[in-house]
Structure 1
Amino acid sequence: MLFGVLDAVPSEARATPVSRDLDVLLLSRAATLRSHPGQVAFPGGRVDAGDRDIVATALREAREETGLDPSGVDVLGKLPEVPLAFSRHLVTPVVGWWRDPSPVRVVDEHESAAVFRAPVADLLDPANRGVTVIHRDGREWRGPAFTAGEHLVWGFTAMLLDALFDRLGWADPWDGTREIPLPA
Protein backbone atom coordinates (compact mmCIF):
# COMPACT_ATOMS: atom_id res chain seq x y z
CA MET A 1 0.00 0.00 0.00
CA LEU A 2 2.12 2.84 -1.34
CA PHE A 3 1.12 6.41 -0.50
CA GLY A 4 2.73 9.67 -1.54
CA VAL A 5 2.46 12.82 -3.63
CA LEU A 6 2.66 11.07 -6.97
CA ASP A 7 2.07 13.95 -9.35
CA ALA A 8 1.33 17.66 -9.48
CA VAL A 9 -2.43 17.20 -9.98
CA PRO A 10 -4.31 17.51 -6.66
CA SER A 11 -7.72 16.03 -6.04
CA GLU A 12 -10.69 18.23 -6.82
CA ALA A 13 -12.43 17.12 -3.62
CA ARG A 14 -13.24 20.12 -1.45
CA ALA A 15 -13.85 18.95 2.11
CA THR A 16 -11.31 16.27 2.95
CA PRO A 17 -9.51 15.10 6.11
CA VAL A 18 -6.32 14.51 4.08
CA SER A 19 -4.15 16.64 1.85
CA ARG A 20 -5.57 16.92 -1.66
CA ASP A 21 -2.09 15.88 -2.89
CA LEU A 22 -2.10 12.47 -1.16
CA ASP A 23 -2.27 9.58 -3.63
CA VAL A 24 -2.15 5.80 -3.47
CA LEU A 25 -0.57 3.65 -6.18
CA LEU A 26 -2.86 1.03 -7.74
CA LEU A 27 -2.88 -1.22 -10.75
CA SER A 28 -5.52 -2.93 -12.84
CA ARG A 29 -4.80 -6.62 -13.26
CA ALA A 30 -4.79 -8.06 -16.78
CA ALA A 31 -8.14 -9.47 -17.88
CA THR A 32 -6.39 -12.68 -18.97
CA LEU A 33 -5.22 -13.67 -15.47
CA ARG A 34 -6.80 -16.72 -13.84
CA SER A 35 -6.90 -15.10 -10.40
CA HIS A 36 -8.86 -11.86 -9.96
CA PRO A 37 -8.78 -10.84 -13.65
CA GLY A 38 -9.38 -7.17 -14.36
CA GLN A 39 -9.57 -6.19 -10.70
CA VAL A 40 -7.83 -3.16 -9.25
CA ALA A 41 -5.14 -4.15 -6.77
CA PHE A 42 -2.08 -3.00 -4.93
CA PRO A 43 1.23 -4.17 -6.37
CA GLY A 44 2.14 -7.42 -4.68
CA GLY A 45 2.57 -11.14 -4.97
CA ARG A 46 4.10 -14.29 -3.61
CA VAL A 47 7.26 -14.58 -1.53
CA ASP A 48 10.24 -15.83 -3.55
CA ALA A 49 12.93 -18.01 -1.99
CA GLY A 50 15.48 -15.18 -2.34
CA ASP A 51 13.35 -12.57 -0.55
CA ARG A 52 14.88 -11.46 2.78
CA ASP A 53 11.45 -10.85 4.35
CA ILE A 54 7.90 -9.77 3.53
CA VAL A 55 9.00 -6.14 3.06
CA ALA A 56 11.58 -7.24 0.48
CA THR A 57 8.83 -9.22 -1.26
CA ALA A 58 6.55 -6.19 -1.39
CA LEU A 59 9.26 -3.92 -2.81
CA ARG A 60 10.40 -6.52 -5.37
CA GLU A 61 6.84 -7.14 -6.55
CA ALA A 62 6.14 -3.40 -6.82
CA ARG A 63 9.29 -2.95 -8.91
CA GLU A 64 8.43 -5.93 -11.14
CA GLU A 65 4.81 -4.84 -11.65
CA THR A 66 5.15 -1.05 -11.91
CA GLY A 67 8.82 -0.29 -12.53
CA LEU A 68 9.10 1.87 -9.42
CA ASP A 69 12.50 2.46 -7.85
CA PRO A 70 12.28 0.97 -4.31
CA SER A 71 15.09 3.24 -3.07
CA GLY A 72 12.56 6.12 -3.03
CA VAL A 73 10.20 4.24 -0.69
CA ASP A 74 10.19 4.51 3.11
CA VAL A 75 8.48 1.45 4.56
CA LEU A 76 6.21 2.52 7.41
CA GLY A 77 5.36 -0.98 8.55
CA LYS A 78 3.32 -4.10 8.08
CA LEU A 79 -0.34 -4.57 8.89
CA PRO A 80 -1.65 -7.80 10.42
CA GLU A 81 -2.06 -10.74 8.03
CA VAL A 82 -5.44 -10.86 6.28
CA PRO A 83 -6.93 -14.06 4.85
CA LEU A 84 -8.21 -13.88 1.28
CA ALA A 85 -10.89 -16.54 1.43
CA PHE A 86 -11.75 -16.84 -2.28
CA SER A 87 -8.21 -17.69 -3.38
CA ARG A 88 -7.07 -19.08 0.00
CA HIS A 89 -4.11 -16.70 0.30
CA LEU A 90 -2.80 -15.06 3.45
CA VAL A 91 -1.86 -11.44 2.68
CA THR A 92 0.46 -9.23 4.74
CA PRO A 93 -0.11 -5.60 3.66
CA VAL A 94 3.05 -3.48 3.71
CA VAL A 95 2.50 0.27 4.00
CA GLY A 96 4.98 2.65 2.46
CA TRP A 97 5.54 6.35 1.87
CA TRP A 98 6.79 7.19 -1.61
CA ARG A 99 9.31 9.82 -0.56
CA ASP A 100 10.93 10.10 -3.99
CA PRO A 101 8.44 9.03 -6.69
CA SER A 102 9.92 7.43 -9.78
CA PRO A 103 8.18 6.83 -13.11
CA VAL A 104 5.77 3.89 -13.14
CA ARG A 105 4.15 2.00 -15.97
CA VAL A 106 2.78 -1.36 -16.97
CA VAL A 107 5.86 -3.57 -17.02
CA ASP A 108 4.24 -6.84 -18.12
CA GLU A 109 0.95 -6.66 -20.07
CA HIS A 110 0.29 -10.29 -19.13
CA GLU A 111 0.03 -9.17 -15.48
CA SER A 112 -1.27 -5.59 -15.54
CA ALA A 113 -3.53 -3.55 -17.80
CA ALA A 114 -2.87 -0.19 -16.10
CA VAL A 115 -0.80 1.40 -13.35
CA PHE A 116 -2.29 4.56 -11.90
CA ARG A 117 -2.49 6.94 -8.96
CA ALA A 118 -5.73 7.40 -7.08
CA PRO A 119 -6.14 10.58 -5.03
CA VAL A 120 -7.06 9.50 -1.50
CA ALA A 121 -9.38 12.52 -1.13
CA ASP A 122 -11.34 11.26 -4.15
CA LEU A 123 -11.60 7.79 -2.64
CA LEU A 124 -12.85 9.29 0.63
CA ASP A 125 -15.51 11.40 -1.13
CA PRO A 126 -18.88 9.81 -0.24
CA ALA A 127 -20.00 10.41 -3.85
CA ASN A 128 -17.32 7.92 -4.94
CA ARG A 129 -18.23 5.23 -2.41
CA GLY A 130 -20.71 2.41 -2.43
CA VAL A 131 -20.93 -1.36 -2.30
CA THR A 132 -20.58 -4.14 -4.79
CA VAL A 133 -22.74 -7.24 -4.62
CA ILE A 134 -21.64 -10.69 -5.73
CA HIS A 135 -23.82 -13.78 -5.84
CA ARG A 136 -21.77 -16.98 -5.64
CA ASP A 137 -22.71 -20.52 -4.65
CA GLY A 138 -26.17 -19.41 -3.50
CA ARG A 139 -24.75 -16.75 -1.18
CA GLU A 140 -24.55 -12.98 -1.41
CA TRP A 141 -21.36 -11.06 -0.68
CA ARG A 142 -21.48 -7.28 -0.19
CA GLY A 143 -18.32 -5.25 0.11
CA PRO A 144 -17.10 -1.68 -0.05
CA ALA A 145 -16.28 -0.09 -3.38
CA PHE A 146 -14.66 3.13 -4.58
CA THR A 147 -14.76 4.76 -7.98
CA ALA A 148 -11.36 6.08 -9.01
CA GLY A 149 -11.75 7.83 -12.34
CA GLU A 150 -12.44 5.11 -14.90
CA HIS A 151 -11.55 2.34 -12.40
CA LEU A 152 -13.68 0.56 -9.82
CA VAL A 153 -11.84 -0.48 -6.67
CA TRP A 154 -13.72 -3.37 -5.08
CA GLY A 155 -13.13 -6.72 -3.42
CA PHE A 156 -10.07 -7.26 -1.27
CA THR A 157 -8.36 -4.00 -2.24
CA ALA A 158 -11.45 -1.96 -1.32
CA MET A 159 -11.77 -3.86 1.97
CA LEU A 160 -8.17 -2.99 2.88
CA LEU A 161 -8.61 0.69 1.96
CA ASP A 162 -11.98 0.90 3.77
CA ALA A 163 -10.53 -0.62 6.95
CA LEU A 164 -7.45 1.60 6.83
CA PHE A 165 -9.48 4.77 6.25
CA ASP A 166 -11.82 3.86 9.13
CA ARG A 167 -8.90 3.05 11.42
CA LEU A 168 -7.21 6.37 10.64
CA GLY A 169 -10.46 8.29 11.22
CA TRP A 170 -10.45 9.61 7.64
CA ALA A 171 -13.74 8.12 6.42
CA ASP A 172 -16.80 10.34 6.14
CA PRO A 173 -20.26 8.77 6.40
CA TRP A 174 -21.29 7.28 3.05
CA ASP A 175 -24.34 5.47 1.70
CA GLY A 176 -23.76 1.77 2.40
CA THR A 177 -26.88 0.86 0.43
CA ARG A 178 -25.68 2.49 -2.83
CA GLU A 179 -24.78 -0.37 -5.17
CA ILE A 180 -22.08 0.11 -7.77
CA PRO A 181 -22.29 -2.49 -10.54
CA LEU A 182 -19.23 -4.57 -11.26
CA PRO A 183 -17.56 -4.11 -14.64
CA ALA A 184 -18.74 -6.51 -17.34
Structure 2
Amino acid sequence: MSRNDHTEPRPESRRALLKNADVLAAHISRRLFDIGRSEYGTGADPTERGSGASAVLLLVGHQGGRGPCLILNKRSARVPQPGDICCPGGGIAPVVDAFLSKLLVLPGLPLGRWPYWPGWRREKAFHGGAMPLLLATALREGFEEMRLNPLGVRFLGPMPPFCLRLFKRKIYPMVGWISRQRRFRTNWEVEKIIRIPLAWFWEIDRYANYRVTFSRSVARQANRITDDFPCFRFESESGAELLWGVTYRIVMNFMESVLDFHPPDTAGLPVIAGRLGGRYITGK
Protein backbone atom coordinates (compact mmCIF):
# COMPACT_ATOMS: atom_id res chain seq x y z
CA MET A 1 0.00 0.00 0.00
CA SER A 2 1.12 3.53 -0.71
CA ARG A 3 2.18 5.80 2.12
CA ASN A 4 2.02 9.54 2.60
CA ASP A 5 5.29 10.96 3.89
CA HIS A 6 3.56 14.11 5.16
CA THR A 7 1.55 12.09 7.69
CA GLU A 8 4.50 9.94 8.74
CA PRO A 9 6.77 12.11 10.90
CA ARG A 10 10.05 10.72 12.18
CA PRO A 11 9.83 7.27 10.54
CA GLU A 12 13.11 6.09 12.05
CA SER A 13 11.93 7.02 15.54
CA ARG A 14 8.60 5.28 14.90
CA ARG A 15 10.23 2.08 13.69
CA ALA A 16 12.50 2.06 16.75
CA LEU A 17 9.50 2.47 19.07
CA LEU A 18 7.49 -0.30 17.43
CA LYS A 19 10.45 -2.65 17.53
CA ASN A 20 11.09 -2.46 21.28
CA ALA A 21 8.12 -3.35 23.51
CA ASP A 22 9.58 -1.96 26.74
CA VAL A 23 10.60 1.33 25.14
CA LEU A 24 7.19 1.69 23.47
CA ALA A 25 5.27 0.98 26.69
CA ALA A 26 7.39 3.47 28.64
CA HIS A 27 6.95 6.09 25.92
CA ILE A 28 3.15 5.64 25.89
CA SER A 29 2.94 5.85 29.66
CA ARG A 30 5.00 9.04 29.83
CA ARG A 31 2.93 10.74 27.11
CA LEU A 32 -0.38 9.74 28.71
CA PHE A 33 0.68 11.04 32.10
CA ASP A 34 1.60 14.41 30.58
CA ILE A 35 -1.73 14.59 28.75
CA GLY A 36 -3.73 13.46 31.77
CA ARG A 37 -2.24 16.14 34.01
CA SER A 38 -4.07 18.79 31.99
CA GLU A 39 -7.18 16.83 30.98
CA TYR A 40 -8.11 15.60 34.45
CA GLY A 41 -6.99 18.60 36.44
CA THR A 42 -10.31 20.46 36.39
CA GLY A 43 -14.00 19.82 35.92
CA ALA A 44 -16.63 17.66 37.57
CA ASP A 45 -15.85 14.29 39.08
CA PRO A 46 -16.44 11.77 36.24
CA THR A 47 -17.56 9.12 38.73
CA GLU A 48 -20.40 11.10 40.32
CA ARG A 49 -23.69 9.19 40.41
CA GLY A 50 -25.82 10.07 37.40
CA SER A 51 -22.85 11.30 35.35
CA GLY A 52 -23.41 8.63 32.67
CA ALA A 53 -19.73 7.75 32.71
CA SER A 54 -18.36 4.57 31.16
CA ALA A 55 -14.79 3.27 31.18
CA VAL A 56 -13.14 1.29 28.40
CA LEU A 57 -9.78 -0.40 28.05
CA LEU A 58 -7.61 0.33 25.01
CA LEU A 59 -5.34 -2.70 24.97
CA VAL A 60 -1.92 -2.75 23.31
CA GLY A 61 0.41 -5.72 23.13
CA HIS A 62 2.48 -8.05 20.96
CA GLN A 63 0.29 -10.74 19.42
CA GLY A 64 1.60 -13.51 17.18
CA GLY A 65 4.72 -11.94 15.69
CA ARG A 66 2.97 -8.97 14.04
CA GLY A 67 4.55 -6.37 16.29
CA PRO A 68 2.52 -4.28 18.73
CA CYS A 69 -1.22 -4.50 18.08
CA LEU A 70 -4.40 -2.94 19.31
CA ILE A 71 -6.60 -5.68 20.78
CA LEU A 72 -10.29 -4.88 20.34
CA ASN A 73 -13.69 -6.59 20.38
CA LYS A 74 -16.31 -6.94 17.67
CA ARG A 75 -19.79 -6.56 19.16
CA SER A 76 -22.18 -9.46 18.73
CA ALA A 77 -25.64 -9.35 17.15
CA ARG A 78 -27.20 -9.58 20.62
CA VAL A 79 -26.23 -6.09 21.82
CA PRO A 80 -26.68 -2.46 20.66
CA GLN A 81 -24.27 -1.32 17.92
CA PRO A 82 -23.95 -4.88 16.58
CA GLY A 83 -20.92 -5.49 14.40
CA ASP A 84 -19.04 -2.42 15.62
CA ILE A 85 -15.42 -2.76 16.70
CA CYS A 86 -14.93 -1.45 20.21
CA CYS A 87 -12.79 -1.46 23.31
CA PRO A 88 -13.94 -3.71 26.16
CA GLY A 89 -15.75 -1.63 28.73
CA GLY A 90 -19.05 -0.40 30.11
CA GLY A 91 -20.79 1.46 32.88
CA ILE A 92 -19.55 1.74 36.45
CA ALA A 93 -20.90 -0.82 38.92
CA PRO A 94 -20.68 1.33 42.06
CA VAL A 95 -20.40 -1.36 44.73
CA VAL A 96 -18.24 -3.92 42.92
CA ASP A 97 -15.94 -1.43 41.21
CA ALA A 98 -15.48 0.63 44.37
CA PHE A 99 -14.27 -2.51 46.15
CA LEU A 100 -11.96 -3.49 43.26
CA SER A 101 -10.57 0.04 43.06
CA LYS A 102 -9.20 -0.27 46.60
CA LEU A 103 -7.26 -3.37 45.57
CA LEU A 104 -5.79 -1.90 42.37
CA VAL A 105 -3.62 0.60 44.26
CA LEU A 106 -1.85 -2.13 46.27
CA PRO A 107 1.80 -2.84 45.43
CA GLY A 108 2.11 -5.27 42.52
CA LEU A 109 -1.39 -4.60 41.14
CA PRO A 110 -2.03 -2.56 37.94
CA LEU A 111 -2.39 0.92 39.44
CA GLY A 112 0.12 0.27 42.19
CA ARG A 113 2.67 -0.67 39.50
CA TRP A 114 2.05 2.47 37.43
CA PRO A 115 5.19 4.58 38.04
CA TYR A 116 3.22 7.83 37.78
CA TRP A 117 0.56 6.90 40.34
CA PRO A 118 2.26 8.53 43.37
CA GLY A 119 2.66 11.81 41.47
CA TRP A 120 -0.87 11.61 40.07
CA ARG A 121 -2.32 11.02 43.52
CA ARG A 122 -0.42 14.00 44.96
CA GLU A 123 -1.41 16.38 42.17
CA LYS A 124 -5.01 15.21 41.69
CA ALA A 125 -6.47 15.25 45.19
CA PHE A 126 -9.98 15.25 43.73
CA HIS A 127 -9.64 13.13 40.60
CA GLY A 128 -7.11 10.80 42.16
CA GLY A 129 -10.05 8.88 43.58
CA ALA A 130 -11.71 8.69 40.17
CA MET A 131 -8.79 6.96 38.48
CA PRO A 132 -8.91 3.69 40.48
CA LEU A 133 -12.69 3.43 39.96
CA LEU A 134 -12.49 4.01 36.21
CA LEU A 135 -9.65 1.50 35.85
CA ALA A 136 -11.51 -1.04 37.99
CA THR A 137 -14.55 -0.71 35.70
CA ALA A 138 -12.47 -1.17 32.55
CA LEU A 139 -10.60 -4.21 33.91
CA ARG A 140 -13.78 -5.85 35.23
CA GLU A 141 -15.50 -5.40 31.87
CA GLY A 142 -12.43 -6.78 30.10
CA PHE A 143 -12.61 -9.90 32.27
CA GLU A 144 -16.36 -10.32 31.70
CA GLU A 145 -16.28 -9.76 27.93
CA MET A 146 -13.08 -11.59 26.91
CA ARG A 147 -11.67 -13.22 30.05
CA LEU A 148 -8.82 -10.76 30.13
CA ASN A 149 -6.50 -11.50 33.04
CA PRO A 150 -6.50 -8.20 34.99
CA LEU A 151 -3.31 -9.14 36.82
CA GLY A 152 -1.52 -9.43 33.48
CA VAL A 153 -2.38 -5.86 32.42
CA ARG A 154 0.29 -3.18 32.74
CA PHE A 155 -1.58 0.10 33.16
CA LEU A 156 -0.07 2.82 30.94
CA GLY A 157 -2.33 5.77 31.74
CA PRO A 158 -5.64 7.51 31.01
CA MET A 159 -6.82 9.20 27.81
CA PRO A 160 -9.15 12.22 27.54
CA PRO A 161 -12.87 11.35 27.70
CA PHE A 162 -15.09 11.12 24.61
CA CYS A 163 -18.79 11.91 24.24
CA LEU A 164 -21.07 9.38 22.55
CA ARG A 165 -23.84 11.61 21.23
CA LEU A 166 -26.45 9.05 20.21
CA PHE A 167 -26.22 7.23 23.56
CA LYS A 168 -25.64 10.32 25.74
CA ARG A 169 -22.62 8.83 27.49
CA LYS A 170 -19.14 10.00 28.32
CA ILE A 171 -16.43 7.39 27.81
CA TYR A 172 -13.15 7.36 29.73
CA PRO A 173 -10.47 5.25 27.97
CA MET A 174 -7.79 3.60 30.08
CA VAL A 175 -4.74 2.28 28.19
CA GLY A 176 -3.22 -1.07 29.14
CA TRP A 177 -0.39 -3.25 27.86
CA ILE A 178 -0.49 -7.04 27.82
CA SER A 179 2.56 -9.15 27.02
CA ARG A 180 1.68 -12.74 27.88
CA GLN A 181 -1.99 -13.48 27.30
CA ARG A 182 -2.66 -14.66 23.75
CA ARG A 183 -5.97 -16.50 24.05
CA PHE A 184 -9.27 -14.98 25.12
CA ARG A 185 -12.73 -16.44 25.71
CA THR A 186 -15.53 -14.12 24.65
CA ASN A 187 -18.95 -13.88 26.28
CA TRP A 188 -22.31 -13.34 24.57
CA GLU A 189 -21.64 -9.62 24.03
CA VAL A 190 -18.63 -10.22 21.79
CA GLU A 191 -18.54 -11.88 18.37
CA LYS A 192 -14.75 -12.13 18.18
CA ILE A 193 -11.42 -10.59 19.15
CA ILE A 194 -9.85 -8.17 16.66
CA ARG A 195 -6.11 -7.44 16.43
CA ILE A 196 -4.80 -4.48 14.42
CA PRO A 197 -1.02 -3.99 14.11
CA LEU A 198 -0.08 -0.41 14.95
CA ALA A 199 2.07 -0.24 11.81
CA TRP A 200 -1.07 -0.52 9.65
CA PHE A 201 -2.27 2.92 10.74
CA TRP A 202 0.48 4.56 8.67
CA GLU A 203 -0.90 2.94 5.50
CA ILE A 204 -2.96 5.76 4.04
CA ASP A 205 -4.86 3.57 1.57
CA ARG A 206 -6.68 2.01 4.50
CA TYR A 207 -8.59 5.23 5.29
CA ALA A 208 -12.00 6.13 3.86
CA ASN A 209 -15.28 7.98 4.46
CA TYR A 210 -18.13 5.90 5.87
CA ARG A 211 -21.33 7.49 4.52
CA VAL A 212 -24.17 6.37 6.78
CA THR A 213 -27.86 6.62 5.97
CA PHE A 214 -30.03 6.55 9.10
CA SER A 215 -33.41 4.86 9.34
CA ARG A 216 -36.35 7.11 10.23
CA SER A 217 -36.22 6.29 13.96
CA VAL A 218 -32.46 6.89 14.19
CA ALA A 219 -32.67 10.05 12.07
CA ARG A 220 -35.03 11.56 14.64
CA GLN A 221 -32.45 11.04 17.39
CA ALA A 222 -29.50 12.07 15.25
CA ASN A 223 -31.30 15.10 13.72
CA ARG A 224 -30.03 14.16 10.27
CA ILE A 225 -30.68 11.58 7.56
CA THR A 226 -27.11 10.94 6.43
CA ASP A 227 -23.65 11.69 7.77
CA ASP A 228 -20.04 11.01 6.85
CA PHE A 229 -17.60 9.46 9.32
CA PRO A 230 -13.88 8.88 8.85
CA CYS A 231 -13.04 5.19 9.02
CA PHE A 232 -10.19 2.71 8.80
CA ARG A 233 -10.40 -0.44 6.66
CA PHE A 234 -8.44 -3.60 7.41
CA GLU A 235 -8.56 -7.37 7.13
CA SER A 236 -9.00 -9.75 10.08
CA GLU A 237 -8.68 -13.52 10.09
CA SER A 238 -12.29 -13.84 8.92
CA GLY A 239 -12.65 -10.99 6.44
CA ALA A 240 -12.87 -7.24 5.89
CA GLU A 241 -13.56 -4.98 8.89
CA LEU A 242 -14.32 -1.30 9.43
CA LEU A 243 -13.21 0.81 12.39
CA TRP A 244 -15.33 3.95 12.79
CA GLY A 245 -17.30 6.03 15.29
CA VAL A 246 -16.10 6.69 18.81
CA THR A 247 -13.58 3.82 18.74
CA TYR A 248 -11.98 5.34 15.64
CA ARG A 249 -11.81 8.67 17.48
CA ILE A 250 -10.22 7.04 20.53
CA VAL A 251 -7.66 5.22 18.40
CA MET A 252 -6.81 8.31 16.32
CA ASN A 253 -6.43 10.40 19.48
CA PHE A 254 -4.05 7.75 20.77
CA MET A 255 -2.08 7.71 17.51
CA GLU A 256 -1.86 11.51 17.37
CA SER A 257 -1.02 12.23 21.00
CA VAL A 258 1.25 9.25 21.65
CA LEU A 259 2.81 8.37 18.28
CA ASP A 260 2.66 11.76 16.51
CA PHE A 261 0.59 10.39 13.62
CA HIS A 262 -2.18 12.45 12.03
CA PRO A 263 -4.78 10.67 9.88
CA PRO A 264 -5.30 11.90 6.30
CA ASP A 265 -7.84 14.59 5.52
CA THR A 266 -11.14 12.99 4.55
CA ALA A 267 -11.49 15.11 1.39
CA GLY A 268 -10.87 12.90 -1.62
CA LEU A 269 -10.91 9.63 0.29
CA PRO A 270 -13.04 6.76 -1.09
CA VAL A 271 -16.62 6.51 0.18
CA ILE A 272 -18.12 3.39 1.77
CA ALA A 273 -21.92 3.38 2.03
CA GLY A 274 -23.77 1.98 5.05
CA ARG A 275 -27.13 2.11 6.77
CA LEU A 276 -28.11 2.16 10.46
CA GLY A 277 -31.53 0.95 11.54
CA GLY A 278 -33.38 1.25 14.83
CA ARG A 279 -31.89 -2.01 16.08
CA TYR A 280 -28.46 -0.38 16.05
CA ILE A 281 -29.59 1.85 18.91
CA THR A 282 -31.77 -0.57 20.90
CA GLY A 283 -30.07 -3.90 20.28
CA LYS A 284 -33.52 -5.47 19.91
Q: Percent identity?
A: 25
Q: Which runs of structure 2 are paired with 1:8-87 in the superposition (5 Å)? A: 8=65, 10=66, 21-33=67-79, 35-49=80-94, 50-51=96-97, 52=101, 53-87=133-167
* TM superposition score normalised by structure 1: 0.82
Residues 4-45 of structure 1 deviation map (CA, whole Å, 9 limit, x = unaligned): 11222x2xxxxxxxxxx1100011101221x21111111111
The CA distance in 1 between the partners of 2:211 and 2:72, in whole Å, is 22
Match for 2:60: what amino acid?
F
Q: Classify the secondary structure of the residue corresponding to 1:45.
A: strand
Q: Classify the secondary structure of the residue corresponding to 2:271.
A: coil
Aligned partner (choices 215, 232, 249) of residue 146 of structure 1: 232
The CA distance in 1 between the partners of 2:161 and 2:61, in whole Å, is 23
Q: Work out whether 1:122 is the aligned partner of 2:200.
A: yes
CA-CA distance at 1:157 after TM superposition: 0.7
Q: Classify the secondary structure of the residue corresponding to 2:273.
A: coil
Q: Work out whether 1:155 is the aligned partner of 2:245.
A: yes
The CA distance in 2 between the partners of 1:118 and 1:82, in whole Å, is 21
CA-CA distance at 1:91 after TM superposition: 0.4
5+ long unaligned stretches in structure 2: 1-57, 102-132, 277-284
* TM superposition score normalised by structure 2: 0.55
Pick closer, same or farther for the CA change 1:183–1:23 going to 2, 3 Å: farther
Q: Classify the secondary structure of the residue corresponding to 1:152.
A: strand
Residues 78-114 of structure 1 deviation map (CA, whole Å, 9 limit, x = unaligned): 112211001111100101121x331333421x20111
The CA distance in 1 between the partners of 2:233 and 2:275, in whole Å, is 11
Residues 37-76 of structure 1 deviation map (CA, whole Å, 9 limit, x = unaligned): 1111111111112112000111111111111211121111
The CA distance in 2 between the partners of 1:104 and 1:182, in whole Å, is 32
Q: Which runs of structure 2 are paired with 1:71-110 in the superposition (5 Å)? A: 71-98=151-178, 100-108=179-187, 110=188
Q: How many residues align?
A: 170
Q: Work out whether 1:2 is the aligned partner of 2:67.
A: no
5+ long unaligned stretches in structure 1: 11-20
The CA distance in 1 between the partners of 2:153 and 2:231, in whole Å, is 27
Residue number in structure 2 paired with 1:170? 261
Contact 1:67 1:103 in 2 (8 A): no
Match for 1:40: what amino acid?
I
Structure whose residues are more often helix by fraction? 2
Q: Work out whether 1:179 is the aligned partner of 2:271.
A: yes
Contact 1:82 1:92 in 2 (8 A): yes
Q: Classify the secondary structure of the residue corresponding to 1:93.
A: strand
Match for 1:86: what amino acid?
L
Contact 2:63 2:182 in 1 (8 A): no
Pick closer, same or farther for the CA change 1:29–1:172 going to 2, 3 Å: closer
Larger Rg: 2
Residue number in structure 2 paired with 1:14? none
Residue number in structure 2 paired with 1:16? none
CA-CA distance at 1:144 after TM superposition: 1.8
Contact 2:208 2:271 in 1 (8 A): yes
| Structure 1 range deviating more: 38-47 or 166-175 | 166-175
